[in-house]
Structure 1
Amino acid sequence: MDIIIITTIIAALFLVIGAAEPLAARLRLPYSVILAVLGSLIGAAAIFFLRTDLTDALNPVAEAILALPIRSNVFLYVFLPTLLFQATLGMNLRRMIDDWVPILTLAVVAVVVATLSVGYALNLVSTLPLAACLLIGSIVSTTDPSAVVSIFRSISAPRRLARIIEGESLLNDAAAIALFGLFMGYVMLGVPDPTLSDAFAKFPMLIAGGAVAGWLTAQAAVWVMAFFARYERAQITVSVAVPYLAYIGAEQTIGASGVIAVVAAGLTLNLAGPGRLPPQAWTNLREVWDLLAHWAGALIFILAALLIPRLLDDLRISDVALIGVVVVAAVAARAAILFGLLPLLTLARVSPHVERPYRAAILWGGLRGAVTLALALAVTESIRVPSETKRLVGILATGFTLFTLLVQGTTLRAVIGRLGLDRLSPIDAALSRQVVAVALQTVREDVAKTTGNYELTHDIVRAEAKRFGQRLDRAVKSAEEVAEILDRDRVTLGLIALAGAERDTILARLRERSVSARLSERALTNADRLIEATRTGGRSGYSRAGRRAVGYSLPFRAAVLLHNRLGLSRPLARLTADRFELLLSQRLILRDLDSFIDGRIQRIHGRRVGDLLRELLARRVQTVETALEGLRLQYPGYAEELERRFIRRTALRLEEREYASMREDGLIGAELHMALTTDIARRRAAAEQRPQLDLALQREELVRQFPLFADLDEAVLKRLSRGLTTRYANAGEVLLHRNSTPKSVFFIASGAVELESAGQTWRLGRGEMFGQMAILMQRPRRTEGRAIAPSTFLVLNEARFRRLLRRSPTVQEAVRASAEKRGLSIEGLLDA
């Protein structure tokens, strides 16, 4: 086909795409549904004009539309990587982790169940062989990311619901396409009844190989992009190559899943990019990818929809019944997972609870789209697939896709409304009134200042002030109408507003570059958790989320395990440095929030609520200070280095602001301003480099600070520091269990521990030890010990502790004092 004709048609399709969005908004229908309908109408019209005798004038246009080189590889190798990669870049990965069990259940288990359900149901009612039926099942089992994500965003679905759906739609493509490849091979080889165990045995390799390929591709790309640190367009250009290299490399080189490779590459860049790229470059990169994905998603839908009339060209009455079987089997399989398996996982405490309305919306939101059509098209293009199988695959996949888009897609908004997911909860309604009241009060004050500065006419000012005051009175009266809710939940509303202000402060610090982009993502995640936990749990939820933000994470614990067991200290050093920097930033941000309580919250909710919020905020600040002090005690020199780095970054920000102000005032010219900002950029790059943390050296310093080890000589101290292992514990974690066999003694480096034995309770703090009595008395422990704050311990095994005891009179004296406190006699045991 002539390149001019192809270019003209693609340009015309972009016009259709541009018109589809406002049309969808006007009709209150999902954008993807409008694209599918428009594409189907264009395809049907092309076929109609070629077959009708009404006119031949439009035949060249119709022939050009039907002759477009639309092949399955175009969808899978050109459009799909773009959609998947952009979606992973925009994901909040740390929030996804909160719901990883339901996401993986829907993305993998639900795909397998839907494949088997549809396959065996079709095998019972049709003459197709089992392999072909399972092939159809794999084709229709994947939800389409471009359809699902756009629809759930367009209807402003609850964030957690959208998160689960988005995560599922991204990952289930890999499972479905992997199954598609397996069963497609059986169909082309003419194997009617495949052995499912052989098919699923290849599944882990497809997933693992794709993940490794994507991770390696993204790591290489991040290294190259960091090398091009001063060339933003070069960095964005490199990112465009990443999904395609990952997809093609995985598919064609090692035979793994290209979809998983793209998702892994996107996740890797999502995690590593903010820390390796300048903040503005990262923001611009994501904006470019948003636009690319918008175009790719629209084109994949409208081009796939052009195929629908051709795929349904040979539709028979009996095929409609088979489409009904596919619909029923697919929906039943999805319902079994959502209403059967997920509640069981929740009862087993494996998965967080997913409310019934959420599950109903997820059931109806399992839309299919261009990916399903692309896989069906791949079957119809194959010369090794029997013609009847190709016909049925095209018809069933297309019919099922149309059902999900035209029936489920058009009614999804109504279903969500029926479930009440689009309505504000009472607390959200009260919050909205609070926001309006606070905003109007602030506006009134600002307007009064403005009118005074401009010396406007007194009568006009008075008339407008009266009019504005009436609106403010209505807002206050509206707030008073929910007095019952405010009396019960006023503290919760204040805490939600406080957490929102914390999030805004983090974003402001990010723009000022006083908080690194990589760590700001984690800080924003903590703020989001605060907001959601407060909505569901009120004051206690806010406190729990605050403690969680300070606690030791699962990756941190894994790094500790690698350090203690395998001697790999680099992950622990990096995560410890991250924790240090995050706590320093969090302390600064929390201290800025007092003014928000005074200036905003107290004006709406009163002094009593303001005082209570200040008390809760003070507790959070104290928790952060305690954790930070523990790190300072462990790594004294490193804390000073980080604080110096923060001061240097702040000074650079202020210097840059001063030069910008001079440029605006005309005191310096553009050339001088460019030279000055270039110099600042060079110094900022140096200041961004975080100092290295040497864990081994720091632990020796920590051991020297212990009063218990003060009488040991240098050689013994070095041997002791090598024999000690580090253990971290969150508040509430049990360290000693009753009736357990004693194996270790704990020395408290930071934090605090509560011990309980025979009805007595006592607390120990930094510099003290516990666990020694059971070892000396050689009997099972009678004491239970738990951390009451995020704590760090140095742990010594029994043999090394006994050697230490023989060499250190100070430790012997501490053991005697502890025994006397508990009324025990150990004089004969110290020499054993």
Structure 2
Amino acid sequence: MPLSESILILMALLALAMIAAPLTRSLPIPFTVVLVGIGIALGWTSQFWEPLHQLQHFRLTPDLVLFIFLPTLIFESGYNLDARQLIKDIFPVLVLAVPALLLSTFLVGAGLHLVFDMPLSLALLFGALISATDPVAVISLFKELGAPLRLTVLVEGESLFNDATAIVVFNILLGMALVGGSMDGHTMLHAGYEFIYVFFGGALLGLICGLIVCEWMRLMRDNFSAILVLSVILAYVSFIFAEHYLHVSGVMAVVGASLCLGVYGVTRISHHAGELLRESWEVFAYICNALLFLLVGLSVDLHNLATHLPYIAVAIVLVLLSRLPAVYLMLPATLRRFHLPAVRSGDKHIMWWGGLKGGLAIAIVLSLPEDLAARQLLLDMTLGVVIFTLLINAPSIKPLMNKLGMNALNANEKVELEQGVLHAQKHALNVLQRMEKARFMSKVSLHQANSLIQDVMQPQHASISPARQLSHVRQIASRAEVEELEHLRDAGVVPQYLLLDIKSELRLEREATSGEVAGLNPVLKVEQKLLRWLRERDTMASWLSRYQALRISGLLRRTILRILMTDAANAHLKSRKDIDDDARNTVRNELKTRLNALHAQLTEVHENYPGFFSRFETRMGMLAALAGAGWQADDDHKHGEIGKKAYCRIQQLITEAESRIPEVKNTPLNPPAKDLIRMVPIFSRLSTQAAETLASQAAVVTFLPGDTVIEEGARGDALYIISHGEVMVSHRENTQDSAILANLRTGDFFGEMALLGDQVRKATVTAIQASTLLRLTRKEVLALASQYPEVQQHLKAAEEERAQTLE
């Protein structure tokens, strides 16, 4: 068939899908299911009607699914998946994706073997390819139905991750079926190694590709076309390179790449570019979904399905039964084991019934060798199960959700509805009042419109407890904070990475106030791990100093932004007259308390680092002003108030001004480093020249309140002298309790035993206040001792004194 005709037929299929899209809105059937039905009807009609004969050439092939449709659909899903919720539920997702799939493979295969005496290798082969829930079918359906967030993440996560397991098991069983091998210990060991390589190798490859492309995108700045092209390259290159060259899971590679872009990449591009990227990929996925499900229907041969109907019926029952242990036994056990919130019984029913099969299973079965015995039987069984899940399971999920009461409003949602109706009604009536003042509507029309609004948007006046009212007002305040944060982002004051970080903090605060156990901010987890890795490495001393300066700058910026956000939330609550007065006053008092704490935190940094603070606020103010100027120039150029030449000239002026803004540097130590060194007994009699030499080699490091400077049991060879601040020295008495040994302040020192060769820390030192320390390593002291004999003598005397003490 000529390429032009193929493209024309594809466009006709796509146009048919677009015609069906608005018609299905009034039907209780998902759009994707309608497309499968249309595809089946077209395929059957094409056998008898000559104008449609060309459709006989349009069938799903493994390469079409794996290398055209799947990268786009998996990438879009991974990019839009709530990564934070996925991380929280990663253990149940992995249990569903690996051991649950292996159990399902065995149950389906054993059932077919017992019922039809099918060769066990072929039965298990079918069990492997049909047990994986298809990510394309599940994701498209759950998006259409608007399923709850956690349910969506669990089912989408399972469907994304279990592909690797299914493909590895399928390939192993296919090899056994072809050569007649047995499932001995060596084979099992090889299968385990292959699974680890395929599953985690694909994820690692995707992560590496994602990181490279994310940094590449940063260089593109606001060139959205280039950013979009890079994302397409990332999706397809990661998949094809994984599958074709490294023979690892292409799906896991795309999942890793898309999650990396969704979590890290959005911090490297502008918010506007990120939103456009998300919308573009939704369009790509919509096109692929439409064509894929039409082609699934076209690939069905009704005559062959009727021939093998008994096999298909038994396979459907086995597939449904084999999913029961995973959802009702393994999932709850995993949640209890890792102390995660339980899944509601209604959600379990949806997870069981919603284990849809789709194009992926068809692509796997089509990859079977042509000369394999019972290939046609396996193909028809697969198509039968896929069609059943799409035509029976999928349309019945929404009624099942309604039957289980999953669409009913809970107490919090009733409060939201009550307040939302009041707010919407007020806004609608204000619009009508403005039209009346402008003499746009007659009195009769105005009266009719007012009556309609008051009749339709009538508050339910449901009984709402004070606790629910308080929770809702907190949500209103949180929303006002987010709006202020996004306003500051639009003005260029807030970088994208900081926006996401603060939004994560707000989510954790909401979870804490709602009673849900909130974990540590993932950014803070990474920060603490990085700090722990840097602090005792001599080669990293300068990096530690720079990193801590960045942390202080980040703390100041975050504190200032939170002050602005809290002020905005307070003002918003003050202006809202449609919420409960007691709840509003309570939340405003909470905001006032938080505001006082934030101002105290800002004052503490200002008092501890006055020079640093002054330079920081100057630099931040200048950058914010220039960012605002750039945003205004963009807006003027966009709306045609200034031309291209004037716009470019303004951008040059802004760039020139940015280059003249001074950097924020650490202030000199007070007292000077050489005087601090002489406060240590073993250095108290050093000559001025020796002290100055040692001071020039020492590193200045800063620790924020709560930071661990040294940790008991860790290895280290550095002495710390306190220039400013306060630290606490503690010692572990057992696995749970610690005893406070001392509080050290300016002029005190700790870690001196490391200079004498004992590199295992005997206590933990934690910063109580923001503290500036002078760091001296054993290597630096020994190097000085080779030049100054007096240092060697002091060290030898200290070692002898210590030896006598130990005796």
1:237 correspondence with 2:229: yes
Task: Report if aligned partners of 2:726, 2:767 keep a CA contact under 8 Å in 1.
Answer: no
CA distance in 2, matches of 1:630, 1:385: 75
Residue in 2 aligned with 1:425?
Answer: 410
Q: CA deviation at 1:533?
A: 5.2
Structure 1 residue 79 displacement after superposition: 0.9
Q: 1:611 to 1:736 in 2, by over 3 A?
A: farther
SS in 2 for 1:478: coil
**2:592 aligns to what?**
618
Task: Please tell me whether the aligned partners of residues 746 and 769 of structure 1 are also in contact (alpha carbons under 8 angstroms).
Answer: yes
Q: How far apart, CA to CA, are the structure 2 residues paired with 1:190 and 1:94?
A: 45
2:490 maps to 511
Aligned equivalent of 2:419:
434
Question: Cα distance, 1:595 vs. partner?
Answer: 0.6
Aligned partner of 2:533 in structure 1 is: 562
The Cα offsets for residues 32-79 of structure 1, whole Å up to 9 and x where unpaired, read as 2112222222222224x1xxxxxxxx23522x2122263111100111
Matches within 5 A, 1:615-694: 615-624=589-598, 643-656=617-630, 658-659=632-633, 669-676=642-649, 678-679=651-652, 682=655
| Residue among 348, 351, 367 paired with 1:378 | 367
* Cα distance per residue 1:381-418 (max 9 Å; x no partner): x23522x1x12321222222222222221111122222
Residue in 2 aligned with 1:61? Answer: 52
- Equivalent residue letter for 1:385: L
1:604 and 2:579 aligned: yes
The aligned residue for residue 356 of structure 1 is 345
Q: Which amino acid aligns with 2:403?
A: R
Shift of 1:27: 0.6
**8 A contact 1:726–1:793 mirrored in 2:** yes
Letter aligned with residue 82 of structure 1: T
Map 1:343-492 → 2, pairs under 5 A: 343-379=332-368, 382-386=369-373, 388=374, 390-445=375-430, 448=433, 451-452=436-437, 454=438, 460=443, 464=446, 468=450, 478=459, 481-482=461-462, 484-492=463-471
Deviations 1:351-370 (A, max 9, x none): 34333332232222221111
CA distance in 2, matches of 1:362, 1:635: 55
Does the CA contact (< 8 Å) of 1:557 and 1:728 recur in 2?
Answer: no
Matched letter for residue 586 of structure 2 = L
**CA offset digits 1:586-619 (Å, max 9, x no partner):** 333223211111012x54211x322211222233
Cα distance, 1:564 vs structure 2: 3.4
Structure 1 residues 653 and 150: CA distance shift in structure 2, 3 A: same
> Could you tell me how far apart the structure 1 residues matched to 2:382 and 2:207 are?
33
Q: 2:345 corresponds to which letter in structure 1?
A: R
Equivalent of 1:162 in 141, 152, 164: 152
Instruction: State the shift of 1:532 in Å.
Output: 5.2
Contact preservation (8 Å) 2:356, 2:393: yes
- The whole-number CA distance in structure 2 between the counterparts of 1:414 and 1:504 is 36
2:205 aligned to which of 213, 228, 245: 213
| C-alpha distance in 2 between matches for 1:710 and 1:499 | 52
Distance 1:524 1:315, change over 3 A: farther
Aligned mates of 1:702, 1:11 — CA distance in 2:
74
- Match for residue 198 of structure 1? 190
Distance in 2 (alpha carbons) for counterparts of 1:78 and 1:525: 35
Q: Which residue type is aligned with residue 344 of structure 1? A: A
Give me the identity figure in percent: 22
Which residue of 1 is the match for residue 758 of structure 2? Answer: none
Give the whole-Å Cα distance in 2 for the aligned partners of 1:624 and 1:751. 22
Aligned to 1:42: 42
Shift of 1:132: 2.4
Deviation at 1:621, TM superposition (A): 3.6
Q: Deviations over 1:3-54 (max 9, x none)?
A: 233122211110122123223322122222112222222222224x1xxxxx
In structure 2, relative to structure 1, the CA distance for the partners of 1:755 and 1:216 (3 Å cut) is closer
- The answer to whether the Cα contact below 8 Å between 2:59 and 2:295 also exists between their aligned partners in 1 is no
Label 1:621 to 1:65 Cα distance change in 2 as closer, same or farther (>3 A): same
By how many angstroms is 1:223 displaced? Answer: 3.8
For residues 363 and 657 of structure 1, what CA distance do their matches in structure 2 show? 50
Q: TM-score, length-normalised on structure 1? A: 0.77
- 1:289 is displaced (CA, Å) by 1.5
* Corresponding position of 2:794: none
Q: Structure 2: which amino acid aligns with 1:219?
A: L
Amino acid at match of 2:372: V
Compared with structure 1, are the counterparts of its residues 634 and 245 closer, same or farther at alpha carbon in structure 2 (3 Å cutoff)? Answer: farther
Aligned to 1:227: 219
Match of 1:115 in 2: 105
- CA displacement, residues 323-362 of structure 1 (integer Å, 9 cap, x when unaligned): 1443244322xxx233323333333335343333322322
- Residue 175 of structure 2 corresponds to which residue in structure 1? 185
How far the C-alpha of 1:246 sits from its partner, in A, is 0.9
The answer on whether the counterparts of 1:752 and 1:791 sit within 8 Å (CA) in structure 2 is no
Residue 315 (1) aligns with residue 307 (2): yes
Q: CA offsets per residue over residues 75-104 of structure 1, 9 Å max, x none?
A: 001110111111122223233322222222
Question: Could you tell me how far apart the structure 1 residues matched to 2:282 and 2:749 are?
Answer: 56
Measured in 1, the distance between the counterparts of 2:604 and 2:123 equals: 62
Distance 1:691 1:519 in 2: 20
Q: 1:489 to 1:238 in 2, by over 3 A?
A: closer
Distance 1:710 1:158, change over 3 A: farther
On the 8 A contact 1:88/1:267 being kept in 2, the answer is yes
Deviation at 1:116, TM superposition (A): 2.8
CA contact (8 A) 1:311 1:394 kept: no
Counterpart CA distance in 2 for 1:186 and 1:456 is 79
Measured in 1, the distance between the counterparts of 2:361 and 2:286 equals 19
- 1:758-778 per-residue CA deviation (whole Å, 9 max, x = no partner) reads x9x999999599999xx9xxx
Q: Deviations over 1:529-577 (max 9, x none)?
A: 445555x43xxx6xx86x955x973222221232235565769939836
In 2, Cα distance between equivalents of 1:439 and 1:767: 58
- In structure 2, the partner of 1:807 is none
Deviation of 1:438 after TM superposition, in Å, equals 2.8
- Correspondence 1:690-709 to 2 at 5 A: none
Q: 1:623 to 1:360 in 2, by over 3 A?
A: farther
Task: Return the match for 1:248 from 240, 245, 248.
Answer: 240
Which digits, 9 at most, give the CA deviation of each residue in 1:713-762, with x for residues without a partner?
8669959976999697599xxx999xxxxxx99999589999999x9x99
Amino acid at match of 1:492: S
Matched to 1:65, the amino acid is: L
Distance 1:210 1:149 in 2: 21
Q: Aligned pairs, how many?
A: 751
Q: 1:446 to 1:266 in 2, by over 3 A?
A: same
- Which of 72, 97, 100 matches 2:90? 100
The worse-fitting range, judged by mean Cα deviation, of 651-660 and 634-643 is 634-643
8 A contact 1:215–1:268 mirrored in 2: yes
Q: CA deviation at 1:634?
A: 8.1
Q: CA separation in 1, counterparts of 2:39 and 2:740?
A: 73
Task: Look up the SS of the partner of 1:604 in the other structure.
Answer: coil
Residues 301 and 684 from structure 1, CA distance in 2 versus in 1: closer, same or farther, beyond 3 angstroms?
farther
Counterpart amino acid of residue 342 in structure 1: L
Which moved further from structure 2: 115-124 or 310-319? 310-319
Which residue number in structure 2 is paired with residue 811 of structure 1? none
Deviation digits for residues 685-715 of structure 1 (CA, Å, limit 9, x no counterpart): 979x99799xxx79x969989x999956866
Relative to structure 1, the CA distance from residue 347 to residue 528 in structure 2 (aligned partners, 3 Å threshold; closer, same or farther) is same
Unmatched segments (≥5 aa) in structure 1: 50-57, 738-743, 776-783, 801-828
Is contact 1:111–1:142 with CA below 8 Å preserved after alignment? yes
- State the Cα distance separating 1:425 from its structure 2 match: 0.8
- Counterpart of 1:595? 571
RMSD: 4.9
Aligned equivalents of 1:262 and 1:511: distance in 2? 31
